[in-house]
A and B are shown apart, each in its own frame.
Chain A
């Protein structure tokens, strides 16, 4: 994605790149996948505040000595904020990162799941 998020942190300004993402509805919740090449578990920070889920990925890029002949990649770290549905149980959000692809599972809260009431 080409969108750049600018953040003012005191006097220091860091530019972030917004990573490409996809959202999919699964059985009891949603599956969010975010592409963050160069980010591993250590560089990842996921937080929720109110109905917002913010993902920050700091990249540990391979350092290569030599002259750059051709460059298409961007150097910025990643950050993106997603609005989360009120039906999601924020305490049960689960995340894993594999080969630069972050997968976040957002399960729906028990009380919003369809429930069958047995007649006694």
Chain B
């Protein structure tokens, strides 16, 4: 058996290390991409995004939003270019001299937009707010309703 003296490995002989440093540069360059820097992290992660459901039947498109504990005056609904936007603000009910022990509830404003699957009649939109659930009923425009065509002969 032959004994070989231990040799200190030279870093430059490690091809993997080079690869890793390249990888890190590449990851860093990804983080510098404009689309990532343009995002406001506040908006992305600390916002309030109430659950939204959307239904469709022959006559209506119906949007349902879970908005517990709001005043109906603080809810705003708008329709523009086939996009329904619901926004609002929930005010903090804490007054001076009260300490929040722990909270999981969001306070502040929210904004949800959804593209409607059919053309609707903006003048006939109806909204109700009950038990903390907002239901927006949007009647479809006549031309968007499904029609049965009779075979003449």
Q: A35-B69, A62-B133 are in contact. Are A68 and B105 (CB under 8 A)?
A: no
Chain B residues close to A by CB (< 8 Å): 51-58, 60, 62, 64, 66-71, 93-94, 97-105, 114, 117, 129-133, 135
Chain A residues close to B by CB (< 8 Å): 1, 20-27, 30-31, 33, 35-40, 60-62, 64-74, 98-101
B68 lies within 8 A of A70 (CB): no
A39: B residues at CB distance < 8 A: 131-132
- The total of interchain contacts (Cβ-Cβ below 8 angstroms) comes to 114
A73: B residues at CB distance < 8 A: 51-53, 64, 66
Residue of A nearest to B95 (CB): A26
Bound form: Cα–Cα A18–B86 in Å? 25
Residue of B nearest to A100 (CB): B132
Bound form: Cα–Cα A31–B101 in Å? 10
Question: What's the minimum C-beta distance from A29 to chain B, rounded to whole angstroms?
Answer: 11
Bound form: Cα–Cα A1–B132 in Å? 16
Bound form: Cα–Cα A39–B114 in Å? 25
B105 lies within 8 A of A66 (CB): no
B51 lies within 8 A of A100 (CB): no
